[in-house]
């Protein structure tokens, strides 16, 4: 039994009573990283010296009885700024960007609750991708099967938690980038309501769709991290001024809970194994006192098209800041300013990032704006209305997180549209802004994790956590762990 | 229907400040053509009278006092610069 099998609550008790030390926890983290990360490649950089120093200081000071994440080792997706640590976004453009000027607000909030950041986690370049194969450094591999992708774009975050390298990770989710890797890696991933968590210090991809959220082994731990990072931030004018409840105060009471199951989420394209797993989960909910009915989210099939137009358009504007003037790489081959922009960007960005910048620039260009960008914004309204309507009558919407289990490395990378289709069940929720979580729901015949997605009303994260917790406590899929590094079990 | 030409790609690449070779332009034309064709399915939907959604929060302009605050020191802001001189970012010539 590893210390990393314990809940945050139990660890807090043991730390508080000095049965274990923060140094023990941080040491467990680095030992495990050394044991497995040459295979998994979840981390892009480590912060070992500082983290060990911080651990000694925390041990010296002791737990004050209040700090919610005292001594808990964490990994942060490498598109979130930490002062003094590299910030690469897994892009060659930022390969030398080693000293961001400030901490992201979520990092300041974690520091205030005394977690320990052990390093920065791999991702698809600028969070654009669903497999981590778009990392310009090295692809992360799925701890359950090293020939398979961990999902993306927060693949490093999900893999690090699944492999037991950290106790929690922060990821970002623009079209499913927290939930889909959580599903593929058998961990819990939460995309909170749009505006629930400040994005200050998150490198922007698509500002109307970007979210930060936690990835953990269990629901209760996840709720505790969100409790810490949520809340209004004057540094992010899109953060919502809505009170943060105590999410981790969970009962698991499902009595009277009304569940909607969209028929579009169990339709063609969703594998039989995934579908049957979700139907089994609904039986569990029935046994817990909840009821479910089939509903329709009729505009679901248009979500992927609308999403790629909108997210790429926003990305083309957001990534204009990477010009080679103030930070990042600058091409040596330019003689004038415009060439410097063009060559620096072309040498620094990978294929998928360029493809999306091109698509977005096209969709926003004169003559096409109304036909593509504005049309997609209108379809977004219809998709949001679908969710609003169903959630007037039901407490949560439940379905799969991803249509399949983790696919093989190399299987989908050649065809952008095949890759995009993988996010068909997560993308609609980003367009609508509702909170949604993926919780482990069991395993395929091949032993690969399957995720259950729970979608709630705006700012009703507490309800989503309750539904996830009730199911998790009944099924306890989190107890099964990948065999890695000499057979952790 | 989309049928994106090499010239269109070169024009968009210039707007996006990307240097693209002719070979790359042909590859982009293929990719963009496929994605735009896929996106044409949005035209199946009648969106007459539907308001566009730019973002989902019910927020209007967020105001704050117009007051200077302490932020990064100039030297800090220059630490990651590819090239600098005299406390400023240095760039190649702008005018020919």
A317: nearest CA partner in chain B: B16
Q: Which of B19, B40, B45 to mutate to test the interface with A (most CBs of A within 10 A)?
A: B19
For chain B, the average pLDDT equals 91
**Mean of pLDDT values over A227-241:** 96
Residue A488: its pLDDT value, please?
A: 42
pLDDT (tens digit per residue) in A288-337: 999 999 999 999 999 999 999 999 999 999 999 999 999 999 999 888 99
**Mean of pLDDT values over B10-34:** 95
Q: Give the pLDDT band of residue B59 (cuts 50, 70, 90).
A: confident
Q: Which of A357, A379, A423 to mutate to test the interface with B (most CBs of B within 10 A)?
A: A379
Measured in angstroms, the CA of B64 and the nearest CA of chain A are apart by 9
Question: Would B28 be classed as within a structural domain?
Answer: yes
**Mean of pLDDT values over A146-174:** 98
Q: Give the pLDDT band of residue B96 (cuts 50, 70, 90).
A: low
Residue A417: its pLDDT value, please?
A: 85
Residue A314: its pLDDT value, please?
A: 98
**Mean of pLDDT values over A153-178:** 98
Q: Which residues of B29-49 are buried (b: 16+ CB within 10 A; e: fewer)?
A: bebbbebbebbeebeeeebee
Residue B1: its pLDDT value, please?
A: 52
Whether ipTM exceeds 0.90: yes
pLDDT (tens digit per residue) in A363-391: 999 889 999 999 999 999 999 999 999 99
Q: Give the pLDDT band of residue A485 (cuts 50, 70, 90).
A: low
Q: How many CB atoms are located within 10 Å of the residue A444 CB?
A: 18
Question: Would B36 be classed as within a structural domain?
Answer: yes
Residue B62: its pLDDT value, please?
A: 86
* Residue contact B77–A101, C-beta within 8 A: yes
Among the partner-chain residues A299, A355, A381, the one whose CB lies closest to the CB of B31 is A355
Task: Report whether pLDDT(A399) > 90.
Answer: yes
For chain A, the average pLDDT equals 96
**Mean of pLDDT values over A231-238:** 95
**Mean of pLDDT values over A330-356:** 95
CB contact A358 to B (< 8 Å): yes
Question: Would B90 be classed as within a structural domain?
Answer: no
pLDDT (tens digit per residue) in A407-446: 999 999 888 888 888 899 999 999 999 999 999 999 999 9
The CATH number for B27's domain is 1.10.20.60
Task: Report whether pLDDT(A56) > 50.
Answer: yes
A303: nearest CA partner in chain B: B42
Number of domains in chain B: 1
**Mean of pLDDT values over A5-22:** 97
Residue A487: its pLDDT value, please?
A: 43
Residue A423: its pLDDT value, please?
A: 94
A97: nearest CA partner in chain B: B80
* Residue numbers of the domain that contains B26: 6-44
Question: Would B74 be classed as within a structural domain?
Answer: no
Question: Would B92 be classed as within a structural domain?
Answer: no
Range scoring the smallest mean pLDDT among A1-15, A176-190, A324-338, B49-63:
B49-63
* Upstream peptide bond of A153 is cis (omega within 30 degrees of 0): yes
Cβ–Cβ under 8 Å, residues A79 and A127: yes
Residue A235: its pLDDT value, please?
A: 94
pLDDT (tens digit per residue) in A353-366: 999 999 999 999 98
Residue B95: its pLDDT value, please?
A: 75
Task: Report whether pLDDT(B44) > 50.
Answer: yes
**Mean of pLDDT values over A248-268:** 96
Question: Would B13 be classed as within a structural domain?
Answer: yes
Question: Would B26 be classed as within a structural domain?
Answer: yes
**Mean of pLDDT values over A462-488:** 90
Question: Would B51 be classed as within a structural domain?
Answer: no
């Amino acid at each position: 039994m590893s210390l990393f099998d314990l809940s945050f609550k139990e660890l807090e008790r043991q730390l508080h009573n000095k049965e274990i030390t923060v140094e023990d926890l941080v040491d467990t983290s680095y030992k495990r990283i050394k044991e497995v990360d040459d295979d998994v490649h979840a981390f892009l950089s480590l912060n070992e010296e500082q983290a060990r120093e911080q651990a000694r200081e925390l041990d010296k000071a002791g737990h004050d009885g209040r700090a919610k994440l005292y001594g808990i080792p964490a990994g942060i997706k490498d598109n979130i700024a930490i002062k003094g640590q590299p910030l690469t976004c897994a892009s060659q453009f930022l390969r030398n960007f080693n000293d961001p000027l400030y901490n992201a607000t979520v990092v300041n909030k974690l520091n205030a609750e005394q977690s320990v950041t052990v390093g920065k986690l791999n991702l698809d370049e600028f969070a654009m991708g669903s497999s981590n194969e778009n990392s310009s450094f090295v692809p992360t591999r799925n701890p359950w099967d090293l020939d398979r992708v961990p999902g993306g774009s927060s693949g490093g975050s999900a893999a690090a938690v699944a492999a037991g390298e950290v106790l929690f990770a922060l990821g970002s989710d623009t079209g499913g980038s927290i939930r889909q890797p959580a599903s593929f890696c058998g961990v819990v991933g939460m995309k909170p309501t749009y505006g629930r968590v400040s994005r200050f210090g998150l490198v922007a991809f698509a500002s109307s769709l970007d979210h930060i959220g936690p990835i953990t082994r269990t629901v209760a731990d996840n709720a505790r991290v969100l409790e810490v990072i949520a809340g209004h931030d004057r540094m992010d004018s899109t953060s919502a001024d809505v009170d943060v409840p105590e999410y981790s105060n969970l009962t698991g009471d499902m009595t009277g809970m009304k569940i909607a199951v969209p028929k579009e989420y169990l339709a063609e394209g969703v594998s039989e194994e995934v579908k049957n797993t979700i139907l089994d989960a609904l039986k569990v909910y029935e046994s817990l006192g909840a009821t479910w009915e089939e509903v329709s989210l009729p505009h679901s099939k248009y979500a992927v098209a609308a999403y790629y137009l909108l997210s790429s358009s926003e990305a083309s504007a957001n990534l204009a800041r990477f010009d080679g003037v103030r930070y990042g790489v600058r091409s040596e081959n330019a003689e004038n300013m415009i060439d410097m922009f063009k060559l620096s960007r072309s040498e620094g960005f990978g294929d998928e990032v360029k493809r999306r910048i091109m698509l977005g620039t096209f969709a926003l260009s004169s003559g096409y704006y109304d036909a593509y960008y504005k049309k997609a914004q209108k379809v977004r309204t219809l998709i949001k209305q679908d969710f609003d309507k169903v959630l007037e009558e039901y407490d949560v919407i439940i379905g799969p997180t991803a249509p399949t289990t983790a696919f093989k490395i190399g299987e989908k990378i050649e065809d952008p549209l095949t890759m995009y289709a993988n996010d068909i069940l997560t993308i609609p929720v980003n367009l609508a802004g509702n909170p949604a979580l993926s919780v482990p729901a069991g395993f395929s015949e091949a032993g690969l994790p399957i995720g259950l997605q729970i979608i709630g009303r705006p700012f009703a994260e507490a309800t989503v956590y309750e539904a996830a917790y009730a199911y998790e406590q009944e099924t306890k899929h989190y107890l099964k762990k990948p065999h890695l590094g000499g057979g952790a079990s | 229907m989309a049928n994106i030409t090499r010239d269109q790609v070169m024009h968009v690449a210039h707007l996006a400040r990307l240097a693209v070779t002719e070979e790359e332009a042909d590859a982009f034309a293929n990719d963009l053509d496929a994605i735009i064709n896929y996106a044409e399915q949005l035209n199946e939907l009648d969106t007459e009278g539907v308001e566009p959604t730019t973002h989902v929060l019910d927020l209007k302009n967020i105001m704050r006092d117009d007051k200077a605050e302490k932020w990064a020191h100039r030297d800090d802001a220059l630490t990651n610069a590819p090239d600098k001189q005299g406390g400023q970012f240095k760039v190649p010539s702008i005018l020919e």
